Amino acid sequence: MVVKVFREGASYNHREVLETLIEFSAFKDRVEKKFKDLAKELEGKANEHDLWVNLYLVSIDYAEEQNNKKQKQELVSQKAS
């Protein structure tokens, strides 16, 4: 759902927008905790928000690719059985 909000620019209800913002905020908090140097590099930049959004979108794409690979591997394993 989150990726659709950013990619399609479609209209969404208030609840969906809030869910997206909460998910993005949680992502940002996790990155700041685990990658303190990266967070410091982004902090205070004129385009800080854009950088965070782009990092978020890249991570979502990566997670989707990994999930798709896992599903394909499971299908192959099931067919081989």
Dump pLDDT digits (tens) for 39-78: 888 889 999 888 888 888 888 888 888 888 888 888 888 8
| Type of residue numbered 32 | E
Distances (CA, A) of 69 to 33, 40, 74: 28, 33, 9
Q: Is residue 5 a contact partner of residue 20, using CB atoms and an 8 Å limit?
A: yes
Based on the structure, what is the number of domains in the chain?
1
In 3D, which of 69, 24, 18 has the Cα closest to residue 50? 24
- Residue 77: the pLDDT is 81
Domain that holds residue 76: 2-80
pTM for this predicted structure: 0.60
